[in-house]
Amino acid sequence: MILFGTRTYLQQLAILTLVCGRCGNPSAHTLRKRVMKFTLFFIPLFPISTKYATQCTFCGAEQQVPKEQADGLLATAAQGGAGAGQPQPGAGQHAPHGSGPAA
């Protein structure tokens, strides 16, 4: 007897601030990857399908996105382009004081 089946793995890739298509709020969205794997005797062997989706944390609406768009969103998140916590060049640098003639 051969036991086989599938198993789904959910992986959260990033959290992005997007304007939700359903509730219209610029809220945090989780970008998730859902991988379905073929299992044999409960051992996952290889992925059958990989899907990406964003989910609005405000209203819970989930929207599937193609891999290309997910990659783009990930790149945006990696650059910090989603908004939060982006360091501004120049601000907070240690500028040398007393560069004038006043000693």
Given the rule CB under 5 A, which residues bind Zn ion? 20, 22-23, 56, 58-59, 61
How far apart are CB 101 and Zn ion at their closest, in Å?
60
Shortest gap between Cβ of 52 and Zn ion (angstroms)? 17
Instruction: Quickly count: other Cβ atoms within 10 Å of residue 20's Cβ.
Output: 20
Q: Which is nearer to Zn ion, 29 or 70 (CB)?
A: 29
Measured CA to CA, the distance from residue 59 to residue 54 in angstroms comes to 12
Burial of residue 28, with CB atoms counted within 10 A of its CB: 0-12 exposed, 13-18 middle, 19 or more buried = middle
Judged by beta carbon, residue 22 or residue 67, the one nearer Zn ion is 22
Q: Which is nearer to Zn ion, 23 or 78 (CB)?
A: 23
Cβ neighbors of 23 (< 8 A, separation 6 or more) are: 56, 58, 59, 61
Q: Smallest distance, Å, CB 10 to Zn ion?
A: 19
